[in-house]
A and B are shown apart, each in its own frame.
Chain A
Amino acid sequence: MRLNKFILFALMALTASCVDRFIPETTGYDKVLFIECLLSNDTTIRPIVNISLTAPVVSQAGGKLTYVPEKVSGAIVKIVCSDSTVALFPQFDAGTYRADQGYKLVTGKSYKLIAVIDNKTYESDFQKLNECPPIDSISCKHVLQKRSEDGQIIEGLRFYLSNHTPETGPSFYRWTMDATFRYQAPYLASHIWTGRTTLGATNRLVRDCWKTKTINGIYIGNTRGLTENRVLEAPLNFESQYGDELTIRYSLNVKQYNIPESAMNFWENVTKLVNETGTLYETQPFRIEGNIRCTTDPTVYVAGIFEVAGMSTLRIFVDRPTTFTIYPLECFLQQVGTRDFPWYRLPSGSYVTEQSPNVFMTANQACYDCQLRIGTLYKPPFWKDK
Chain B
Amino acid sequence: MKKTIAISCFLILFLLSLRAQEKPVYAKLSLKNVPFTEFAKKINDCCDISIYYKPEWISTVRISAEGDSVDIDALLYTTLHPLGINYYYRGNRQFFITGTALITNSSTARSANTDVSAKDTASLNAKQDYFKRITYEKIVKNVVIGSRGKIQNSRQSYLSGRITNRSNGEPLAGASVSVTGTANGVTSDSEGSYSLPLQSGKSFKLSVSCLGMDPQSYSVEMNSSGVLNIEMDSKLIDVREVTVTSDRFQNVRGMQMGFQSITAREMKSIPMVMGERDIFKVANLMPGVQTVGEGSAGFNVRGSASDQNLFLINEIPVLNTGHLFGFFSAFNPDMVNGLNLYKSNFPVEYGGRLASIFDISTRKGNKKDFGARGSLSPITGSLLVETPIVKDKASFMFSVRSTYSDWILNRLKDAAITKREGSFYDLMTGVHVLNKDGSSWQAFGYYSKDKFSLSGTNQYHYANLGASVIYDRRLGDKWTMKAAAILSNYSNFQANNELASKSFEHEFRVRSQELKIKFTGYPIVRHKIGFGGDVILHNLDQGILSSYGGQSLFAPIDFGKESGLEYALHASDEFSVTENFTIYAGLRYSFFNYLGANDIRIYPDNVPYETKNIIDTVSYGFGKTIKTYSGPEYRVSLNYQINKDLSVKASYNKMRQYLFMLSNTIAISPTDRWKLVDPYIAPPVADQFSLGAYKNFNNSSIETSAEVYYKSVKNIIEYKDRADLTFSPDVETLVLQGDQKAWGIEFLLKRNTGRLTGWISYTWSRSMITVNGQEPWQKINNGITYPASYDKPHALNVVASLKLSRRVSISSNIVYNTGRPITYPTGFIYVGGVPVINYSLRNEYRIPDYFRTDIAMTIEGNLLKKKFAHGSWIFSVYNLTGRKNAYSIYFVQENLDIKGYKLSIYGVPIFTISYQFKLGNYAVE
Contact partner, B500, options A4, A57, A233, Cβ 8 Å: A233
Q: Are B831 and A28 in contact (CB under 8 A)?
A: no
Q: Are A13 and B412 in contact (CB under 8 A)?
A: yes
Q: Are B895 and A9 in contact (CB under 8 A)?
A: no
Task: Return the chain A residue nearest B903 by Cβ.
Answer: A19
B54 at interface by CB-CB < 8 Å: no
A225 and B557 contact, Cβ closer than 8 Å, known pairs A22-B900, A270-B831, A277-B891:
yes
Contact partner, A63, options B835, B884, B900, Cβ 8 Å: B900
A190 at interface by CB-CB < 8 Å: no
Q: Are B458 and A4 in contact (CB under 8 A)?
A: yes
A1 and B420 contact, Cβ closer than 8 Å, known pairs A32-B827, A34-B829, A281-B665:
no
Once the chains are docked, how many angstroms separate the CA of A56 from the CA of B895? 19
Q: Are B454 and A10 in contact (CB under 8 A)?
A: yes
Residues of B within 8 A of A285 (CB): 823, 839
Task: Return the chain B residue nearest A235 by Cβ.
Answer: B499
Which of B305-313, B567-575, B904-912 binds A? Answer: B904-912
Q: Are A4 and B454 in contact (CB under 8 A)?
A: yes
> How does the 8 Å CB contact mask read for A1-19 relative to B, with 1 for contact and 0 for none?
1111011111111111111
Which of B217-225, B330-338, B637-645, B840-848 binds A? Answer: B840-848
Task: Return the chain B residue nearest A34 by Cβ.
Answer: B829
Expressed in whole angstroms, the minimum distance between the Cβ of B789 and any Cβ of chain A is 7
Question: Which of A17, A226, A228, A272 gathers most chain B CB within 10 Å?
Answer: A17
Expressed in whole angstroms, the minimum distance between the Cβ of A155 and any Cβ of chain B is 10
Expressed in whole angstroms, the minimum distance between the Cβ of B141 and any Cβ of chain A is 55
Residues of B within 8 A of A286 (CB): 721-722, 823, 839, 842
* B537-592 with Cβ < 8 A to chain A: 547, 551, 553-555, 557
> How does the 8 Å CB contact mask read for A283-307 relative to B, with 1 for contact and 0 for none?
1111110000000000000010100
Q: Are A18 and B502 in contact (CB under 8 A)?
A: no
Q: Are B721 and A34 in contact (CB under 8 A)?
A: no
Which of A143-151, A179-187, A339-347, A378-386 binds B? Answer: A143-151
Chain A interface size band reads 35 or more
Residues of A within 8 A of B891 (CB): 65, 277-278
Expressed in whole angstroms, the minimum distance between the Cβ of B499 and any Cβ of chain A is 7
Contact partner, B902, options A20, A55, A56, Cβ 8 Å: A20
Q: Are A269 and B722 in contact (CB under 8 A)?
A: yes
Q: Are A227 and B829 in contact (CB under 8 A)?
A: no
Once the chains are docked, how many angstroms separate the CA of A281 from the CA of B910? 23
Q: Are A18 and B907 in contact (CB under 8 A)?
A: yes
* A276-333 with Cβ < 8 A to chain B: 277-288, 303, 305
* B872-901 with Cβ < 8 A to chain A: 884, 886-901
Once the chains are docked, how many angstroms separate the CA of A273 from the CA of B841? 14
Q: Are B901 and A278 in contact (CB under 8 A)?
A: yes
Residues of B within 8 A of A9 (CB): 414, 418
B498 at interface by CB-CB < 8 Å: yes
B40 at interface by CB-CB < 8 Å: no
Residues of A within 8 A of B837 (CB): 273
Residues of A within 8 A of B824 (CB): 24, 27-28, 57
Once the chains are docked, how many angstroms separate the CA of A94 from the CA of B273? 57
B327 at interface by CB-CB < 8 Å: yes
Contact partner, B831, options A10, A36, A280, A284, Cβ 8 Å: A36
Q: Are A29 and B417 in contact (CB under 8 A)?
A: no
Residues of A within 8 A of B893 (CB): 274
Q: Are A15 and B295 in contact (CB under 8 A)?
A: yes
Once the chains are docked, how many angstroms separate the CA of A98 from the CA of B834? 20
Q: Are B555 and A225 in contact (CB under 8 A)?
A: yes
Contact partner, B501, options A6, A10, A233, A287, Cβ 8 Å: A233
A69 at interface by CB-CB < 8 Å: yes
Which of B29-37, B104-112, B511-519, B667-675 binds A? Answer: B667-675
Task: Return the chain B residue nearest A4 by Cβ.
Answer: B458
* B288-333 with Cβ < 8 A to chain A: 293, 295-296, 324-325, 327
B405 at interface by CB-CB < 8 Å: yes
Q: Are A281 and B669 in contact (CB under 8 A)?
A: yes
Q: Are A13 and B665 in contact (CB under 8 A)?
A: no
Expressed in whole angstroms, the minimum distance between the Cβ of A158 and any Cβ of chain B is 12
Q: Are B910 and A230 in contact (CB under 8 A)?
A: no
Once the chains are docked, how many angstroms separate the CA of A279 from the CA of B458? 16
B228 at interface by CB-CB < 8 Å: no
B69 at interface by CB-CB < 8 Å: no
Q: Are A29 and B826 in contact (CB under 8 A)?
A: yes
> How does the 8 Å CB contact mask read for A203-218 relative to B, with 1 for contact and 0 for none?
0000000000010111
Q: Are A226 and B553 in contact (CB under 8 A)?
A: yes
A24 and B889 contact, Cβ closer than 8 Å, known pairs A19-B903, A65-B900:
yes
B828 at interface by CB-CB < 8 Å: yes
A1 and B664 contact, Cβ closer than 8 Å, known pairs A11-B327, A22-B900, A54-B828:
yes
Q: Are A69 and B828 in contact (CB under 8 A)?
A: yes
Q: Are B903 and A278 in contact (CB under 8 A)?
A: yes
Q: Are B888 and A277 in contact (CB under 8 A)?
A: yes
Q: Are A214 and B833 in contact (CB under 8 A)?
A: yes
Q: Are B839 and A287 in contact (CB under 8 A)?
A: yes
A232 at interface by CB-CB < 8 Å: yes
Once the chains are docked, how many angstroms separate the CA of A11 from the CA of B422? 11
Q: Are B889 and A22 in contact (CB under 8 A)?
A: yes
B190 at interface by CB-CB < 8 Å: no
> How does the 8 Å CB contact mask read for B167-207 relative to A, with 1 for contact and 0 for none?
00000000000000000000000000000000000000000
Once the chains are docked, how many angstroms separate the CA of A232 from the CA of B557? 20
Contact partner, A67, options B418, B842, B889, B898, Cβ 8 Å: B898
Once the chains are docked, how many angstroms separate the CA of A232 from the CA of B503? 11
Q: Are A69 and B830 in contact (CB under 8 A)?
A: yes
* B451-470 with Cβ < 8 A to chain A: 452, 454-455, 457-458
Nearest 6 interchain pairs by C-beta: A232-B501, A278-B890, A54-B827, A22-B902, A18-B907, A286-B721
13 A-B residue pairings within 8 Å (CB atoms)? A6-B454, A17-B904, A24-B889, A32-B829, A55-B835, A223-B553, A225-B727, A277-B891, A278-B888, A281-B667, A285-B823, A286-B839, A303-B838
